Structures are given as C-alpha cells and as structure tokens.
Amino acid sequence: MGFENILYEKQDYIATLTLNRPPANSVNLATLLEIEKALDDAEESKDVRVLIVTGAGEKGFSAGFDVSDAANADKTGPKGQELWTRIDRFTKPVIAAVNGYAFGGGCELAMASTFRVMVETAKIGLTELNLGIIPGWGGTQRMPRILGKSKALEMILFSKRITAREALDIGLVDRVSKEGELMKDVMEMATFLAKRPPLAVQAVMRAVNIGLEKGIEEGTKAELEGTLIVSKSKDAIEGFTAFMEKREPNFKGE
C-alpha cells in the first residue's frame, strides 16, 4: 500500500502504523483517510494480531488536528471521532508508542489505544481549550473513564501538559520507556501479544468493550458467546495439548 501521510508495515503478526508528517505529525483529512485504509487491512488480515501506532521522528507522537486543514474541519471532526472510536473497539490489541508530545487529538489517539507506552522525555495532554475549542475525538469520554471525573476535568479545563512520569502516576499511560528504548519495549509487548491465542484475544477485547459501553448484562452475554467460540477452536486443543506436553503453544487463530 502506498501512503503519503503514514507508513504502514507488517512483520511477524505485528503491524506498525506511523504518522509520517514530522515534526508535529498533525492529522488532516487526507491522513485520516489513509489511517482508515490501514485499519481496514489490520482488521481483516490474518497476518496481523497486534497493531502499533506511533509517530515519525523524535519530537512528536502527534499534535492532533492539523489547524492548517481548517477548511475540512466539518469532515475531519466526525471522521477523527469515528476512527478513534474504531481503534478503541478494535478486536486486536493496539499499542500507542508515544515517542514525543501527544496533545489534543494525539492524546485522544493514545487514549483510544489498548495500551500506552510513553518515552520519558515526552509530554501529554488535552490542550484544545487554549484554542477555544473542545476535545472532539473522544477525549471528553475516554479521559474520565481512565482518570475519573475530577482529574479528567482538571486536565481538560486547565489544558495541562504533563510529563510521562506524571502520566504514569495518574494512570494515563501504562509504562514509561527510557530514551532510545521505546520501540524495543513496545516490540517486546507486541511480540508477546502476537503469540497469544488470536480468537481468545478477540473474544476478551470484545467482551470487555461491550461490558464497559453497554453494561455488565450485555458484557456477560458477549463473554458467553466468546467462551462458546473459543472452546470449540483448534487453538483450545493446542493450548491444552501444549500444557500437558510442557511446551510453548503455537496458536493459529483457528
């Protein structure tokens, strides 16, 4: 696939989507349409079990919405919200490798991801109110779910830009990497996740998301559906066989 605004690579069941508009890696409508195509591929491909999202260069993960593309704001707003929601509901783990500052829509992209790993030198925050606008790609919904209401409102209303360590302390990111070690750490996580049973991973992701969005009753229904699917899978037989034979299982997603 040839892209102008992103890089998209696949290897060993891991896909890497890199926002390629350094130094800020800001997101315009053309970038969103390319991200959509990459998500289509990652979702449909059996060769992808984990998706990494990161930014090109060392300065920025993403500064979010590209204000120079304001002419397309009526399209960019809904499309950004739709795609970040899709990432949030993705049935394969998405790891945000936050390689530099993540502000506005960039912070929202990180929050939509399953896991967030941030380099120690970066900063993160929802800074939209400085421009007289509000977070529009899911930030008003995801930040309170991650941090709780008052902490999220403090972050948003004060337009706070916090360090990686502060983000780790309040639970906004899951892990902080030393400078120069971010992609090594993220690849370690992705490699481990890629060896997990794909059908079971998808069933867990789906059940968790449905439960959080629709409540425990719908969530437990989804859990039961997932249980019925995986219990009849070849991967379940492989998992039990490998356990009895004291070897590492080789899951095929079947």
Q: Which of 128, 179, 213, 225 is catalytic?
A: 128
Residues spanned by CATH 1.10.12 within the chain? 198-244
Average pLDDT, the chain: 97
Q: Is 120 a catalytic residue?
A: no
What is the torsion angle, in degrees rounded to the nearest 10, for the CA atoms of residue 24, residue 54, residue 33 and residue 45? Answer: 170
- Rounded to 5 degrees, what are φ and ψ at 63? -90, 5
Check if 34 is active-site: no
Catalytic: which of 108, 179, 213, 238?
Answer: 108
The CATH class given to the 6-194 domain equals: alpha beta
Encode pLDDT of 157-215 as tens digits: 999 999 999 999 999 999 999 999 999 999 999 999 999 999 999 999 999 999 999 99
Specify the domain boundaries for CATH 3.90.226.10 within the chain: 6-194
Backbone angles phi, psi at 16, to 5 degrees: -120, 120
Name the class of domain 198-244.
Answer: mainly alpha
Return the percentage of the chain with pLDDT > 70, whole number: 100
Q: What is the pLDDT of residue 97?
A: 98
Q: Which two tokens stand for residue 68?
A: 């120079």
Res. 245 pLDDT band, cuts 50 70 90: very high
Residue 231 has pLDDT above 90, yes or no: yes
